[in-house]
Amino acid sequence: MKRFILSLMAVVAICTSVEAQEYSPMRWEGVYTNRFWDNWEVAAAGGNSFLQISQKGDDPGKFIKRNSWNANVALSKWFVPTLGMRLQVDAGEFRNYSRPAQRGVTSSLLKMPYLYVHGDILVNMSNWIGGYDPDRFYSAVSYMGFGYTAMSWTKNAKSPYNGEYAFTTGLINKFRITPRLDIELDLRSWLIAEKSLPKEIQGGGRFAVAMSASVGVAYRFNMRSWTPAYSQLDVDGYLLAIMTLEEQLIQRDAEMKRVNSNLSAIKSENETLRADLNECRARGATVVPTILPTESVVFFSIGEATLSDYAKATLDSYISQLKGADNSVVVTGYADKETGSAERNEQLSKERAESVASYLRAGGIASERITTTWVGDTEQAFTSPDTPVVNRCVIVR
């Protein structure tokens, strides 16, 4: 009996010592694992039990009379849809004919009550082979386990107490009735040492096989299903897409830095020219070139034809030089070919050229000196650097 108590304590410890740490769900075949108190089942069943003993010669006794009753209760915990653990207490009665000590002596039917406590590893074969399906009607659950069998332990038993460790295996046929209830057909066998049986029925072999078939119900409580999760393939695909976008952003940032650097150089050059002009005015210079020394470039934002403050400042500097000259001015509008349709770019380059020409006239440049033209995206103002930003412009020559 001491071994029986120790075995029971060991099985209970195994079934209740899970998830002592903080809960952290893991992915398994498209679902997340659940918390410790989710996906539990309690079951109760009853049926038939039978004990098969190794025999030397013919099997004594009638087969039907050797069958007896069986009842069991179980507590199960599923960790993932395919793998779980069960603690079961199985009680019943074995019947077997005693072996006569000599020929001519009639065998007597020996009744042996038993109690079998065992822990099992459960494998849901249907979820394993067919994938997890919360609406599946039938599931085949195979199991293997280990426990302790105590026999002839009641006061009314006709044989002395015997007990031994045993190995068990079986198949649970689960039929889903509702999300909470299953009907179960449990076909079970367990292997025990024949020496642990009463001497009256021993057949001289090393092992005896006990078998039982029971029908009952199982009830699921707390969370009964599994939360869907992305597969590792999906996660890898998302990560790859994010990495690609990040690389594209890095390339765009590098391109913008190059454009800003070019714009800064142009601005610095304009500032130098403005400073030289102011210096000449301060010295009272009266000689003004009659031919315009340089051309001027005005840049626009994408899709825009409105002059910015920066563009107006550039044109103001250029107008101050034009007023002292008598040569004609050609205003040419451009649009980059990387964005927009050809029709839109044609109209956009025209609007940009007209915007600059209007500003020149408003600054005091005679209309007859100004020629306005536009090329859309058929020609590009600049080929270096290779970026659309520098071709969203108007060149004044």
> Is 242 a member of any domain?
no
- Domain holding 194, by residue range, is 2-221
**Domain containing residue 85: CATH number:** 2.40.160.20
* pLDDT above 90 for 169: yes
Based on the fold, state whether residues 67 and 192 are members of the same structural domain.
yes
Residue length of the chain: 397
| Burial class of residue 349 (count of CB atoms within 10 Å of its CB; 0-12, 13-18, 19+) | buried
pLDDT of residue 10: 53
pLDDT of residue 145: 96
> Is 271 a member of any domain?
no
> Is 147 a member of any domain?
yes
Residue 287: helix, strand or coil by DSSP?
A: coil
Based on the fold, state whether residues 197 and 335 are members of the same structural domain.
no
d(CA 61, CA 99): 9
Based on the fold, state whether residues 48 and 195 are members of the same structural domain.
yes
Average pLDDT over residues 175-198: 89
> Is 247 a member of any domain?
no
CA end-to-end distance (rounded Å), the chain: 110
Nearest to 301 by CA among 311, 291, 292: 311
Q: What phi-psi label fits residue 348: left (phi over 0), alpha (psi between -120 and 50 degrees) or beta?
A: alpha
d(CA 62, CA 74): 32
Based on the fold, state whether residues 130 and 14 are members of the same structural domain.
yes
Residue, of 227 and 159, whose pLDDT is higher: 227
pLDDT of residue 197: 77
> Is 216 a member of any domain?
yes
Residue, of 28 and 236, whose pLDDT is higher: 236
Based on the fold, state whether residues 171 and 290 are members of the same structural domain.
no
Kindly report, residue by residue over 88-133, the tens digit of the pLDDT: 999 998 887 776 654 444 567 778 888 899 999 999 999 889 888 8
Average pLDDT over residues 159-188: 88
Average pLDDT over residues 330-348: 90
pTM: 0.50
* pLDDT above 50 for 15: no
d(CA 25, CA 224): 16
* pLDDT above 50 for 22: no
> Is 197 a member of any domain?
yes
Is the peptide bond between 388 and the residue preceding it cis, with omega within 30 degrees of 0?
no
> Is 157 a member of any domain?
yes
d(CA 160, CA 365): 126
Please give the tally of structural domains in the chain. Answer: 2
Average pLDDT over residues 355-374: 90
Based on the fold, state whether residues 197 and 296 are members of the same structural domain.
no
Kindly report, residue by residue over 215-249, the tens digit of the pLDDT: 999 999 877 777 766 666 777 787 888 889 999 99
**Domain containing residue 289: CATH number:** 3.30.1330.60
> Is 231 a member of any domain?
no
Residue 174's pLDDT band, with cuts at 50, 70 and 90, is very high
Based on the fold, state whether residues 213 and 306 are members of the same structural domain.
no
